[in-house]
């Protein structure tokens, strides 16, 4: 069984303001958690294929800020937020804001489930309004997310 078929993300919408994503990675939990929290590793996988991401700020602790600048085919853009909770290697809660729509802030909770040699990452995003949630779903998020997860597969396989 190749990774391409085994580790597909599932995207569901449990309420009108939420997006729920599950994805399995072929690596132990500590390594997956490190990929999410190490500023040296973020540029190696964060963003769709062809994206160059620069970590501008990344204070991985409760109350800390983060800001990533991404350069791709469409030019340069940036994302930012605040860490609400960082509980290694289990859980990260953070806000997420695209600077193209400043002040539209979602809250992302990522749970890292230990499956032995594999890890399931369960991410729930909650938006202020159904319209903001639908805007994210309509933005090509799923394609970008799948490419991002493929890049993370590649990093974890190295």
Q: Which two tokens stand for residue 6?
A: 């085994």
As measured in angstroms, the least distance from the Cβ of 133 to a copy of itself is 12
φ and ψ of 103, to 5 deg: 90, 0
Question: Can you tell me the distance from the alpha carbon of 68 to that of 57, in angstroms, rounded to the nearest whole number?
Answer: 7
Q: Which two tokens stand for residue 79?
A: 């994302």
- Note whether 95 binds a copy of itself by CB under 8 A: yes
Q: Which is nearer to a copy of itself, 52 or 76 (CB)?
A: 76
Q: Which is nearer to a copy of itself, 27 or 86 (CB)?
A: 86
* Residue 36 CA from chain centroid, whole number: 8
- Note whether 93 binds a copy of itself by CB under 8 A: yes
- Note whether 82 binds a copy of itself by CB under 8 A: yes
43-62 positions binding a copy of itself, by CB under 8 A: 62
Rounded to 10 degrees, what is the CA torsion of 25, 2, 41, 122?
Answer: -20
Please count the residues of this chain forming the interface with a copy of itself, following the rule CB under 8 A: 19
CB 18 within 8 A of CB 126: yes
Residues that bind a copy of itself (CB under 8 A): 62-63, 81-84, 93-95, 97, 99, 102-105, 107, 126, 128-129
């Amino acid at each position: 069984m190749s990774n391409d078929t085994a580790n597909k993300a599932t995207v569901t919408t449990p309420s009108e303001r939420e997006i729920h994503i599950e994805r399995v990675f072929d690596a132990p939990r500590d390594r997956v958690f490190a990929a999410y929290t190490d500023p040296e590793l973020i540029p190696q996988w964060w963003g769709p294929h062809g994206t160059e991401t620069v970590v501008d700020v990344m204070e991985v602790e409760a109350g800390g800020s983060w800001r990533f600048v991404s350069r791709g085919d469409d030019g340069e853009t940036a994302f930012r937020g605040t860490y609400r909770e960082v509980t290694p290697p289990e859980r990260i809660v953070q806000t997420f804001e695209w600077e193209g729509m400043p002040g539209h802030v979602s809250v992302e909770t990522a749970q890292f489930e230990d499956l032995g040699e594999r890890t399931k990452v369960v991410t729930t995003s909650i938006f202020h309004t159904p319209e903001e949630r639908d805007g994210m779903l309509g933005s090509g998020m799923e394609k970008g997310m799948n490419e991002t997860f493929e890049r993370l597969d590649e990093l974890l396989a190295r």
